[in-house]
Structure 1
Amino acid sequence: MDQIRSYFNRFLALNDSEWADFVACCHKEPVPKKEFILRQGEVCDYIAFIGEGIFRFYYVQEGEEHVTAFFFPGDFVTNYRSFLRGNPSEHYIESLKPSVIYKIYKNDLLALYDRHKNFERLGRFIAENLYLTVAGRLDSFLHDSPENRYQELVQRNSKLLQEVPQYMLASYLGIKPETLSRIRARK
């Protein structure tokens, strides 16, 4: 839980009462390797903070998996569109190794927003940060070559390259595994 408080403090420090109310709403869950915490067609009614582990966010189109994100310890993981709209998810969220998450359900989060103004502000700051991350990824796909996207990935999170299968990395980069092999060989 200290990880979550440190994460929140990057945006806004909560007082002890606010923090205690948040902790009371959190549900610690162990997640085995290759376990889905969200499947396509399910409504995502939670936001989860990753204490341990790695998750991939992907969809399947014409029988082929397309990885759109990876999440690591210290990240929040959710299908935010499904969470906000209450619509079924078009994506899966799967653990890539044994993990521990801390879930807060939508109803509990909304109650925190009502009870503490700082939670509304904190939620906005986190949502804005998420938007900037997603916009940066979109910009990278529009303007950067696969090789440049790979270099950015190496600089941003070399741990990803060690713990994620090559075919998933290739999917995330929008290239075939053979192309990723060639890019790696040139480096």
Structure 2
Amino acid sequence: MEQILDRLNRFSGVEEKAKLAFAESLELVQVERGDLLEKMDSVCSHLYFVIEGSLRSFYFKDNKDITVSFALEGEFTTSMYSFISRQPGYENIEAMESSSVGKISHARLLELFEKHPSLERAYRIILEHYYIALEEQLIFTKFKSARDRYLSLMETRPRIIHKASVGQIASFLDMSIETLSRIRGKI
């Protein structure tokens, strides 16, 4: 609970009782490597907070596993499109290792917003961070070289390099494993 309170303290204007209500509403779950928290073609009903471990979001295209995002300790994740729209999602959320995760249902989150409006501000900031990360990923794949994408990942989120497989990193950076291996060999 301490870790989620620390994370919520980064959002100014969230009342103490709202932070506690949110933290107490999280259901703690243990997942093992390869466990799916969310499955494609299902409506995503939970927002997740990684307490310990790591998760990744991915989908399949032409029988190929495409990594969309990573969530490490202290970060939130969900199938954002599905969670917000209440429509079936296109991605899976998988544990990359044994992980401890807090989850809160969409319905419970809405209840908390009614009782504690200051939580909506924190949620908006979480959504803004998600949008920025998504836009950066899009820009990186369109305008940066493969080498620059890898260097940027090393600079901004180095823990991913130690947690994810080479294939997952290559997929996330929109390059082949061979290209990633060449880049890593020259750095």
Q: Tell me which interval the TM-score lies in, with the shorter structure as reference length.
A: over 0.9
Match runs of 1:87-126 below 5 Å: 87-126=87-126
Tell me the matched-pair count: 187
Q: Which residue pairs with 2:76 in the alignment? A: 76
Residues 79 and 89 of structure 1 are in contact (CA less than 8 Å); yes or no, is this contact kept in structure 2? yes
Residues 45 and 105 of structure 2 are in contact (CA less than 8 Å); yes or no, is this contact kept in structure 1? yes
**1:20, CA displacement in angstroms?**
2.9
Q: Which residue pairs with 1:26 in the alignment? A: 26
Matched, 1:184 2:184: yes
Residues 57 and 69 of structure 1 are in contact (CA less than 8 Å); yes or no, is this contact kept in structure 2? yes
- After superposing on structure 2, the runs of 4+ consecutive aligned residues of structure 1 that deviate more than 4 Å are none
**1:172, CA displacement in angstroms?**
0.8
Gaps of 5+ in 2: none
Q: Which residue pairs with 1:48 in the alignment? A: 48
TM-score normalised by the chain length of structure 2: 0.95
Q: Distance in 2 between matches of 1:122 and 1:155?
A: 26
Q: Which residue pairs with 1:6 in the alignment? A: 6
Q: Distance in 1 between matches of 2:24 and 2:167?
A: 40
SS in structure 2 of the partner of residue 28 of structure 1: strand
SS in structure 2 of the partner of residue 14 of structure 1: coil
**1:77, CA displacement in angstroms?**
1.3
Amino acid across the alignment from 1:17: K
Per-residue CA deviations over 1:39-85 (Å, capped at 9, x if unaligned) read: 11111011010001111111101111111111100110100110011
Residues 47 and 78 of structure 2 are in contact (CA less than 8 Å); yes or no, is this contact kept in structure 1? yes
Matched, 1:130 2:130: yes
Amino acid across the alignment from 1:103: K
Q: Distance in 2 between matches of 1:28 and 1:98?
A: 13
**1:137, CA displacement in angstroms?**
1.5
Amino acid across the alignment from 1:18: A
Q: Distance in 1 between matches of 2:126 and 2:96?
A: 25
TM-score normalised by the chain length of structure 1: 0.95
SS in structure 1 of the partner of residue 159 of structure 2: helix
SS in structure 2 of the partner of residue 181 of structure 1: helix
Q: Which residue pairs with 1:163 in the alignment? A: 163
Residues 46 and 106 of structure 1 are in contact (CA less than 8 Å); yes or no, is this contact kept in structure 2? yes
Gaps of 5+ in 1: none
Please, what is the CA RMSD of the aligned residues? 1.3
